[in-house]
Amino acid sequence: MWPFKKIRINACDRKEREVRFLEIPIFQYGHRKFNGFEESYLKIFPKSFEHKALDKIISFLPKDNTYDHVWIVRSGGMGEAQSLNFFMKGLTYKWKVRKPCLMSQKGIYKDLFALYTDIPFYHIDLEQKEYAFYLPNRNVKYKKKTFHLWHCTLGEAIEFEKKWGLSNFTHAVDWYKELSGISFLSNIELVFKQDVIDSAERKIIKNKLNIENFVFLAPYANTTKKLEEDVWKEIADQFRRKGYDVYVNTVGGRSKIGKSAQLSICEAAYIASRAKRIVALRSGFSELLASIKNRGNLIIVYSSFRKMTPTNFFKVFTLTKYPFYDHKKTDEYIYNGKKSELINHVINIEGK
């Protein structure tokens, strides 16, 4: 094996290099931008990029912690983050884990993971760019702990995005399995804690929602192309004509087309679990909705996603490969801009 190794960092305007001899950093050099300034630099016998980043992360753990494995949920996508729950049983067995914990720069994930697991969660009070570029390996041993990046490194994520433009698509779940070395997923159930139930029901009462007969609409996503607002309005109006009340999940807590409130992820999922029907734009949140046991019929609508057409988006991210998928109560619809067809499908389908 060649004793020298060059670590390249070249993302988001970073052009930095680290040269190692027998895994020991010899020097770092490059050009970087920070706080509005630019600099070129050369450092001799520096601390490694990885270890400087991990020291920052460790600073957000309790001083007296005894965690042996730390999963850093780096992904910006809720669905990608949530998938870790279904791999965790296999991962803890593979790595012979005694005491794990979860960490992320997204504090909102604390609520998300609390629906599935009691593993402690800690917030990394850093921007992702402050550490993600410097962790080129998914599994790193440092200071008597093993750190795992879920689901992948930044470089691997960029490579996966490049595949989206090809005709030979890799399904996301197959890719997660390949990266993690885990061949199976566990069909775990999410659990609503009593404080979540109490809080959600107070908001239901305040909104005068007919909890015995309502439809839950989830029309928003961060990266998926939104459907036209008149489509959602017509869907809501037609459900009301059929006698349903309509609840709309929103980011800000206000909607013109149905009842709404400011909700946490857990509260929104609980209210959705009480609905007769659920209609959601494909997003990370729709994966959470699909994993709810004993829910009403769910229709997930696929529009375009980043550079992917609705059809290709479906090929890569259909939920059928997850163990929670309920074929009788889940319908995934590829939307190609034909409004009337979508509306008729949503209103008239009664599940498989």
Q: pLDDT at position 151, please?
A: 87
Q: Are 330 and 298 in contact (CB under 8 A)?
A: yes
* pLDDT-based confidence at residue 29 (cuts at 50, 70, 90): confident
pLDDT of 322 higher than 60: yes
Residue 6, φ and ψ in degrees, nearest 5: -110, 125
User: Directed axis angle between helix 194-206 and helix 265-273, to 10°?
Assistant: 70
Q: Which CATH number is associated with domain 195-348?
A: 3.40.50.2000
Q: Are 245 and 210 in contact (CB under 8 A)?
A: yes
**Overall average pLDDT of the 139-162 stretch:** 88
Q: Are 349 and 299 in contact (CB under 8 A)?
A: yes
**Overall average pLDDT of the 261-285 stretch:** 95
pLDDT of 35 higher than 70: no
Q: Are 27 and 42 in contact (CB under 8 A)?
A: yes
The encoded tokens of residue 219 equal: 């029309």
Q: pLDDT at position 9, please?
A: 66
Neighbours of 272 (CB within 10 A): 24
Of all helices (H) and strands (E), which one includes residue 247?
Answer: strand 245-248
Tell me what the pLDDT averaged over the chain comes to. Answer: 89
Residue, of 107 and 319, whose pLDDT is higher: 319
Q: pLDDT at position 88, please?
A: 96
Q: pLDDT at position 166, please?
A: 63
Q: pLDDT at position 101, please?
A: 98
**Overall average pLDDT of the 237-254 stretch:** 91
pLDDT of 172 higher than 50: yes
Q: Can you count the helices (H) and strands (E) in the chain?
A: 12, 14
**Overall average pLDDT of the 179-203 stretch:** 93
Q: pLDDT at position 197, please?
A: 95
| pLDDT tens string 68-111 | 999 999 877 899 999 999 999 999 999 999 999 999 999 889 99
Angstrom distance (rounded) from CA 158 to CA 140: 20
Q: Please state the three-class secondary structure of the chain as a single string.
A: CCCEEEEEECCCCCEEEEEEECCEEEEEEEEEEECCEEEEEEEECCCCHHHHHHHHHHCCCCCCCCCCEEEEECCCCHHHHHCHHHHHHHHHHHCCCCCEEEEECCCCHHHHHHCCCCCCEEECCCCHHHCHHHCCCCEEEECCEEEEEECCCHHHHHHHHHHCCCCCCCCHHHHHHHHHCCCCCCCCCCCCCHHHHHHHHHHHHHCCCCCCCEEEEECCCCCECCCCHHHHHHHHHHHHHCCCEEEECCCCCCCCCCECCCCCHHHHHHHHHCCCEEEEECCHHHHHHHCCCCCCEEEEEECCECCECHHHHHHHHCHHHCCCCCCCCEEEEECCCCHHHHHHHHHHCCCC
* pLDDT-based confidence at residue 351 (cuts at 50, 70, 90): very low
Instruction: Give the start-to-end residue ranges of the domains of the chain.
Output: 1-46, 48-180, 195-348
Least confident of 36-50, 94-108, 151-165: 151-165
Angstrom distance (rounded) from CA 216 to CA 259: 10
Q: pLDDT at position 110, please?
A: 93
Of all helices (H) and strands (E), which one includes residue 268?
Answer: helix 265-273
pLDDT of 352 higher than 50: no
**Overall average pLDDT of the 310-328 stretch:** 95
Q: Which residue is listed with tokens 């007969």?
A: 213
pLDDT of 301 higher than 90: yes
